[in-house]
């Protein structure tokens, strides 16, 4: 090329020089027509472009005179080449580099000589050295590089291109990550103009294309080219084409001259000729391969069969004629060709022996087939019968009589077996029915279904109460409290006050974040959903106050499916997003009871009264015509059970303009009339029969429950329409107190079981009675109580199937009680190795209940299986379990909620064997309870008999010893004696008052009474 640096001339011997000089003299005319050969060219121009030989040598001005040196056109190397000129394409400024790296200027100035020639040193031609020895001539200097060559060698950018640095974020946005999306072999990336403009709008000055903002806007095309610079040759990791011409030049570079015929030194490359050399025969060396070849050969082990097929000569090539025939004449005389594939056809390869040899010697093949075309066929024939003479002979034969005698015992044995058992009964088919009784071992363990914990609210806290939502499946609420004793709460009062007291409502749709958070002034130890209005929640605080929440404003959030709350932000305009849209709402309580008139200790249990009854201020159960639960029962260790009424007092009517409004803190005014003014309507004080203190209740259980309207009688009928009209919004509409004309429910049991802090089970009546001494109304003393448990009662649950049966758990034991049996429990467990922490009946199986232990395990007891030990014991949590609550989701799914002392809520799936009741299980449990009651009555009778026998033996011993026996009075004698003593007291009192002049003579005496 004319604009490239020319390689040095090849080395020429002296003899060749002389020959060239002689040829030059003979061609003076030709030399005269070529001025470039006789006189030097311009200093800044290469040799003439029309001379093909001059294009491969430096300019003539850099060489000695033509007389001393042969012309470039007369070189032997040039003479062997064709005279057609090759004009290479001049590389444009800014064109991309070829794939192979071009030689550096140094390598161009010092090309490697061809093989067999010494290399030139320092970029000087060998010819110049030899010429210096022959004649003292000045050293030729290489021509200066052209402008394009300087730009290429200096590493300058192509024309209309600029370096661009793209950060990792920008590479990820435009999918051009280094060495991933773009590589050294594939460095080009096309990006649309609109994407770059959008990026500059979104990120403004942070965008890597902000430096070329105006060029990008003025760019005429729709796609912009960027090139990956892996070696940072242009200073950055990419460079960008700012015009369409630059992009086209990079994508479609001009063809460069690749001197395939010439080497780097300008001489013709030597053609390598490969000569075939036949291999030489060598001596054979055995390595054992002939043995393997011999073993693989097929050896004939039997003689060959000769088959001869003959046919008459005249039959060869004869024409064929087809005729009709009856298919029934011959067997298999018809072949059915169906228009569809026969699925019953199957060709099974039974055996196949094959062999392969290097030469086609012999092959043996075989196959077997099965007939896959069964057809229904029938036939009719006459049976073969014996004649009368033959039958008589056979019956009179000795062989038949001997045969009958031999088989008679076995025949009788078979008849007996058929009478004893059904020989056609399939035990394998009916094997699954046996697993239905008393649990199946195949699937009898609790499975982990879900777990809930919150690092901000429930970590390092204890779960005190669990309640499933009555109607929304998959929603469960838990109350959390500090793990502190009473002394620790006093010492850390400042910390406890600053720590929020919450109830977390979880949903299976979001196991990470709680759906709602209910705020309370103190730690909540118990709470309950209202059975008729599920948006109302009542809770008991540690300081003895009763709290009410109304979550009706957040009902849609609890019912929303997974991600339902998050999709709302897609409809919001950009820049107007609500940062609090995804936060869990905190619901503040809307009413709290008066602390002066409430409990003086922590509330440990709370229950709603059923919707079919209302208690008056005297404790009389009356009919609830509104069909709404509006009264709450609570208990605490301050020796009393309190009854609360949520209805507004008489005369207090809410204004129409205030209904539905909220106070400034966003709390609904549902129970505004109760806030800080709420007082209990009835108090049940639990005093002991003997002096020494009162009972401290922790749990209680009443016989009436939600949904059981048997106490209303047959005359009471509830219409579904009336009930539906009052459901849901009764509290917001305001329930007014009764008019006083409600019917008294005589069938309601006013007595209840109470579990105390000392492990006592107390049975008492809440209806107050008039005291004979003071004349005041007060709660009567309990009917009976038993100190059975060796620790506080933690659970007191009535069976959902048998309302007279009560389960109590406390200390290290559990017991089962029957209402009406006052002598003691009908079933009592042995002391466990660890303390029991909770208990609950199964909602679907009458004979199953769950017991939680403080070592983190759960026991499952089945009364129909065994009563001396649990049917299943499974570890659930490493922390002590505080409470459990089973819940029937569907007929095919039952879940068990377990709360531990570390603030984690575990949801376990109950297996089929523990949730599916067995056949007549309720009858079996009822019969078992009745047997235990009879056994308990027998034990009590035996105790009384032994006690009477002991007294008789003691009296007999005293009589023999001469000691007067103690006279034992009967009940009637004791009553007559007390009446006489009381009459004497009255007479003395009357005499004393008469002497003082207070009582006149005409006054009648007081009548006798007990």
Which has the higher per-residue pLDDT, 883 or 137?
883
What band does 516 get if pLDDT is binned at 50, 70 and 90? very high
Give the CA count within 13 Å in the CB-facing half-sphere of 974: 5
Residue 540 has pLDDT above 50, yes or no: yes
What band does 125 get if pLDDT is binned at 50, 70 and 90? very low
In a domain, residue 185? The reply is yes
What band does 806 get if pLDDT is binned at 50, 70 and 90? very high
- Report in angstroms the alpha-carbon separations of 105 from 146, 341, 781, 831: 12, 78, 116, 99
DSSP line for 56-78: GS--GGGS--TTTS--GGG-HHH
**Parallel, antiparallel or unpaired: strands 586-588 and 516-520:** parallel
* CA 555 – CA 472 distance, rounded (Å): 10
**122 CB burial (10 A radius; 0-12, 13-18, 19+):** exposed
Which of 291-305, 397-411, 779-793 has the lowest average pLDDT? 291-305
* CA 852 – CA 898 distance, rounded (Å): 9
Are 463 and 900 in contact by the 8 Å Cβ rule? The answer is yes
Which has the higher per-residue pLDDT, 659 or 58?
659
Are 855 and 901 in contact by the 8 Å Cβ rule? The answer is no
* CA 94 – CA 113 distance, rounded (Å): 32
Residue 139 has pLDDT above 70, yes or no: no
pLDDT tens per residue, range 754-795 = 999 999 999 999 988 887 777 788 888 899 899 989 999 999
* CA 545 – CA 550 distance, rounded (Å): 17
In a domain, residue 421? The reply is yes
- Report in angstroms the alpha-carbon separations of 62 from 3, 147, 892: 16, 20, 103
Highest mean pLDDT among 61-65, 157-161, 651-655, 700-704: 700-704
What band does 554 get if pLDDT is binned at 50, 70 and 90? confident
Which of 21-30, 95-104, 213-222 has the lowest average pLDDT? 95-104
Are 860 and 872 in contact by the 8 Å Cβ rule? The answer is yes
- Could you tell me if residue 135 is left (phi over 0), alpha (psi between -120 and 50 degrees) or otherwise beta? beta
- Phi first, then psi: give them for residue 681, nearest 5 degrees: -90, -20
Question: In 10 A of CB 603, how many CB atoms?
Answer: 28
Pick the closest to residue 602 from 547, 528, 548 (CA basis): 547
Which of 282-291, 408-417, 469-478 has the lowest average pLDDT? 282-291
pLDDT tens per residue, range 819-847 = 989 889 999 999 999 999 999 999 999 99
Residue 144 has pLDDT above 70, yes or no: no
Question: In 10 A of CB 171, how many CB atoms?
Answer: 20
458 and 587 share one domain: yes
Could you say which of 145, 179, 198 is where a domain stops? 145
DSSP line for 100-128: SPPPPHHHHHSPPPPTTSPPPSTT--HHH
Which of 95-99, 306-310, 544-548, 967-971 has the lowest average pLDDT? 95-99
120 and 187 share one domain: no
What per-residue confidence (pLDDT) applies to 489?
86
Q: Which residues fall within 8 angstroms of residue 657, CB to CB, at 6 or more apart?
A: none
* CA 850 – CA 871 distance, rounded (Å): 10
In a domain, residue 883? The reply is no
413 and 460 share one domain: no
DSSP state of 595: T
Angle at 996 between CA 994 and CA 1002, to 5 degrees: 30
* CA 130 – CA 14 distance, rounded (Å): 9
pLDDT tens per residue, range 361-391 = 677 787 777 766 667 777 777 788 888 899 8
490 and 555 share one domain: yes
Determine the average pLDDT of the residues in 582-609: 90
DSSP line for 227-272: EE-TT-TTSSSEEEE-SHHHHHHHHSPPPPP--SSB-TTSSBPPPP
218 and 134 share one domain: no
In a domain, residue 298? The reply is no
What band does 999 get if pLDDT is binned at 50, 70 and 90? low
Q: Which residues fall within 8 angstroms of residue 291, CB to CB, at 6 or more apart?
A: none
Residue 119 has pLDDT above 60, yes or no: no
Share of the chain above pLDDT 90, in %: 29
What per-residue confidence (pLDDT) applies to 322?
80
What does the chain come to in residues? 1010
What per-residue confidence (pLDDT) applies to 497?
84
* CA 839 – CA 789 distance, rounded (Å): 14
460 and 413 share one domain: no
**837 CB burial (10 A radius; 0-12, 13-18, 19+):** buried
What band does 359 get if pLDDT is binned at 50, 70 and 90? low
Share of the chain above pLDDT 70, in %: 70
Which has the higher per-residue pLDDT, 545 or 107?
545
Which of 46-55, 89-98, 637-646 has the lowest average pLDDT? 46-55
* CA 326 – CA 334 distance, rounded (Å): 9
* CA 227 – CA 200 distance, rounded (Å): 20
The domain total for the chain is 5
What per-residue confidence (pLDDT) applies to 762?
94
Q: How far does Cα 929 stand from its chain's mean position?
A: 43
* CA 801 – CA 818 distance, rounded (Å): 13
477 and 526 share one domain: yes
Q: Which residues fall within 8 angstroms of residue 975, CB to CB, at 6 or more apart?
A: none
123 and 41 share one domain: yes
* CA 966 – CA 743 distance, rounded (Å): 54
Residue 715 has pLDDT above 50, yes or no: no
Are 688 and 694 in contact by the 8 Å Cβ rule? The answer is yes
- Report in angstroms the alpha-carbon separations of 1008 from 206, 605, 983, 994: 106, 46, 8, 19
Are 599 and 683 in contact by the 8 Å Cβ rule? The answer is no
* CA 218 – CA 882 distance, rounded (Å): 72
Highest mean pLDDT among 245-259, 357-371, 426-440, 462-476: 462-476
* CA 63 – CA 142 distance, rounded (Å): 10
What per-residue confidence (pLDDT) applies to 633?
95
* CA 463 – CA 828 distance, rounded (Å): 28
* CA 905 – CA 450 distance, rounded (Å): 8
**621-647 exposure pattern, b = at least 16 Cβ within 10 A, e = fewer:** bbbbbbbbbbbbbbbbbbbbbbbbbbb
Residue 867 has pLDDT above 80, yes or no: yes
Determine the average pLDDT of the residues in 33-51: 39
Range of the domain at 23: 14-145
Could you say which of 117, 145, 173 is where a domain stops? 145
Joined together, the tokens standing for residue 949 give 């026998």
What per-residue confidence (pLDDT) applies to 34?
44
Q: What sign results for the dihedral spanned by CA atoms 235, 237, 241, 247?
A: positive
* CA 986 – CA 180 distance, rounded (Å): 113
What per-residue confidence (pLDDT) applies to 205?
80
What per-residue confidence (pLDDT) applies to 94?
41
Beta-bridge partner residues of 818? 805
520 and 668 share one domain: yes
Could you say which of 145, 170, 189 is where a domain stops? 145
In a domain, residue 366? The reply is no
Are 54 and 86 in contact by the 8 Å Cβ rule? The answer is no
What per-residue confidence (pLDDT) applies to 21?
66
Are 749 and 633 in contact by the 8 Å Cβ rule? The answer is no
Mean pLDDT of the chain: 76
Residue 134 has pLDDT above 70, yes or no: no
Are 556 and 589 in contact by the 8 Å Cβ rule? The answer is no
Question: In 10 A of CB 4, how many CB atoms?
Answer: 19
DSSP line for 726-767: HSS-HHHH-PPPP-S-PPB-TT---EEEEEETTSEEEEEE-S
Q: What sign results for the dihedral spanned by CA atoms 60, 62, 66, 70?
A: negative
What per-residue confidence (pLDDT) applies to 651?
58
What per-residue confidence (pLDDT) applies to 100?
38
What per-residue confidence (pLDDT) applies to 108?
38
Are 529 and 544 in contact by the 8 Å Cβ rule? The answer is no
Tokens 């506080």 correspond to: 792
525 and 669 share one domain: yes
In a domain, residue 989? The reply is yes
668 and 532 share one domain: yes
Residue 449 has pLDDT above 80, yes or no: yes
* CA 737 – CA 614 distance, rounded (Å): 10
What band does 69 get if pLDDT is binned at 50, 70 and 90? very low
Joined together, the tokens standing for residue 373 give 């075309």
**195 CB burial (10 A radius; 0-12, 13-18, 19+):** middle
Q: What sign results for the dihedral spanned by CA atoms 900, 902, 905, 906?
A: negative
In a domain, residue 92? The reply is yes
Which has the higher per-residue pLDDT, 75 or 254?
254
Residue 432 has pLDDT above 60, yes or no: no
* CA 161 – CA 157 distance, rounded (Å): 6
135 and 164 share one domain: no
In a domain, residue 263? The reply is no
């Amino acid at each position: 090329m004319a604009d490239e640096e020319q390689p040095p001339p090849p080395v020429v011997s002296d003899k060749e020089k002389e020959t060239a000089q002689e040829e030059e003299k003979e061609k003076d005319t030709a030399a005269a027509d070529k001025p470039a050969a006789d006189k030097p060219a311009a200093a800044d121009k290469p040799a003439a472009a029309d001379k093909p030989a001059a294009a491969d040598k430096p300019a003539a001005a850099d060489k000695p005179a033509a007389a001393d040196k042969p012309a470039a056109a007369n070189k032997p190397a040039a003479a062997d080449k064709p005279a057609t000129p090759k004009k290479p394409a001049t590389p444009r400024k800014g064109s991309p580099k070829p794939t192979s790296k071009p030689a550096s200027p140094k390598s161009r100035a010092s090309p490697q000589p061809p093989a067999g020639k010494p290399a030139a040193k320092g970029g000087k031609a060998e010819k110049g050295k030899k010429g210096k020895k022959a004649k003292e001539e000045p050293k030729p200097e290489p021509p200066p590089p052209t402008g394009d060559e300087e730009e290429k060698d200096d590493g300058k950018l192509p024309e209309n291109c600029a370096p661009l640095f793209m950060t990792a974020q920008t590479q990820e946005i435009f999918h051009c990550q280094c060495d991933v999306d773009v590589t050294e072999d594939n460095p080009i990336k096309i990006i649309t103009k609109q994407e770059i403009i959008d990026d500059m709008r979104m990120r403004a000055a942070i965008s890597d294309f902000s430096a070329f903002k105006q060029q990008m806007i003025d760019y005429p095309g729709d796609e912009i080219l960027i090139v990956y610079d892996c070696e940072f040759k242009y200073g950055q990791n990419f460079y960008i084409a700012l015009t369409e011409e630059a992009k086209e030049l990079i994508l479609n570079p001009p063809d460069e001259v690749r001197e395939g015929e010439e080497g780097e030194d300008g001489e013709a490359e030597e053609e390598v000729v490969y000569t075939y050399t036949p291999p030489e025969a060598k001596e054979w060396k055995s390595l054992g391969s002939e043995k393997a070849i011999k073993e693989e050969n097929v050896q004939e082990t039997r003689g060959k069969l000769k088959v001869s097929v003959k046919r008459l000569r005249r039959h060869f090539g004869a024409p064929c004629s087809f005729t009709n025939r009856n298919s029934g004449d011959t067997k298999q005389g018809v072949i059915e060709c169906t228009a569809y594939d026969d699925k019953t056809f199957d060709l099974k390869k039974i055996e196949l022996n094959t062999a392969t040899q290097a030469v086609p010697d012999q092959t043996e093949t075989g196959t077997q087939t099965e007939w896959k075309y069964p057809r229904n066929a029938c036939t009719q024939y006459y049976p073969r019968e014996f004649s009368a003479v033959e039958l008589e002979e056979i019956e009179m034969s000795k062989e038949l009589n001997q045969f009958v005698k031999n088989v008679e015992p076995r025949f009788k044995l078979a008849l007996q077996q058929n009478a004893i058992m059904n020989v056609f009964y399939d035990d394998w088919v009916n094997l699954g029915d046996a697993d239905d009784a008393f649990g199946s071992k195949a699937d009898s363990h609790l499975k982990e279904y879900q777990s809930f914990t919150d690092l901000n609210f429930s970590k390092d806290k204890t779960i005190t109460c669990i309640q499933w939502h009555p109607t929304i499946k998959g929603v469960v609420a838990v109350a959390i409290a500090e793990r502190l004793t009473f002394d620790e709460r006093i010492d850390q009062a400042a910390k406890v006050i600053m720590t929020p007291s919450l109830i977390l409502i979880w949903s299976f749709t979001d196991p990470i974040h709680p759906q709602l958070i209910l705020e309370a002034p103190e730690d909540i130890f118990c709470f309950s959903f209202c059975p008729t209005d599920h948006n109302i929640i009542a809770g008991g605080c540690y300081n003895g106050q009763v709290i009410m929440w109304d979550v009706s404003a957040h009902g849609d959030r609890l019912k929303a499916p997974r991600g339902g709350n998050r999709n709302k932000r897609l409809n919001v305009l950009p820049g107007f997003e609500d940062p609090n849209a995804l936060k869990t709402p905190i619901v503040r309580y809307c009413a709290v009871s008066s602390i002066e008139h409430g409990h003086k200790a922590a509330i440990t249990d709370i229950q709603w009264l059923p919707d079919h009854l209302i208690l008056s201020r005297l404790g009389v159960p009356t009919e609830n015509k509104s069909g709404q639960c509006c009264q709450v029962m609570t208990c605490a260790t301050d020796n009393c059970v309190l009854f609360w009424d949520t209805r507004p007092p008489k005369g207090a009517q809410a204004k129409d303009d205030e209904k539905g409004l909220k106070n400034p803190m966003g709390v609904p005014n549902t129970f505004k009339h109760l806030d800080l003014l709420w007082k209990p309507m009835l108090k049940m004080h639990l005093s002991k029969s003997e002096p020494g203190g009162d009972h401290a209740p922790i749990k209680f259980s009443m016989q009436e429950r939600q949904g059981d309207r048997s106490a209303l009688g047959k005359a009471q009928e509830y219409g579904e329409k009336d009930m539906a009209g009052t459901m849901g919004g009764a509290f917001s509409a305001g329930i007014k107190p009764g008019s006083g004309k409600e019917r008294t429910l005589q069938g309601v049991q006013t007595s209840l079981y109470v579990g105390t802090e000392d492990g006592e089970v107390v049975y008492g009546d809440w209806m107050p009675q008039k005291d004979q001494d003071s004349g005041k109304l007060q709660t009567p003393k309990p009917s009976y109580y038993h100190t059975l448990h060796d620790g506080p009662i933690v659970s007191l649950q009535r069976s959902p199937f048998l309302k007279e049966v009560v389960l109590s758990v406390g200390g290290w034991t559990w017991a089962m009680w029957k209402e009406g049996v006052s002598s003691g429990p009908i079933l009592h467990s042995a002391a466990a190795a660890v303390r029991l922490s909770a208990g609950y009946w199964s909602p679907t199986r009458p004979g199953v209940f769950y017991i939680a232990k403080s070592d983190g395990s759960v026991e499952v007891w089945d009364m129909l299986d065994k009563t001396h030990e649990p049917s299943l014991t499974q570890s659930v949590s490493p922390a002590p379990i505080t409470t459990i609550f089973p819940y029937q989701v569907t007929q095919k799914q039952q879940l068990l909620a377990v709360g531990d002392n570390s603030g984690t809520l575990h949801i376990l799936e109950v297996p089929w064997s523990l949730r599916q009741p067995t056949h007549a299980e309720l009858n079996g449990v009822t019969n078992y309870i009745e047997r235990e009651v009879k056994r308990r009555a027998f034990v009590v009778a035996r105790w009384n008999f032994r006690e009477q026998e002991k007294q008789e033996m003691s009296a007999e011993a005293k009589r023999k010893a001469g000691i007067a026996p103690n006279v034992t009075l009967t009940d009637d004698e004791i009553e007559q004696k007390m009446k006489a003593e009381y009459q004497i007291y009255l007479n003395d009192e009357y005499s004393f008052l008469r002497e003082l002049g207070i009582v006149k003579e005409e006054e009648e005496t007081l009548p006798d009474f007990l």
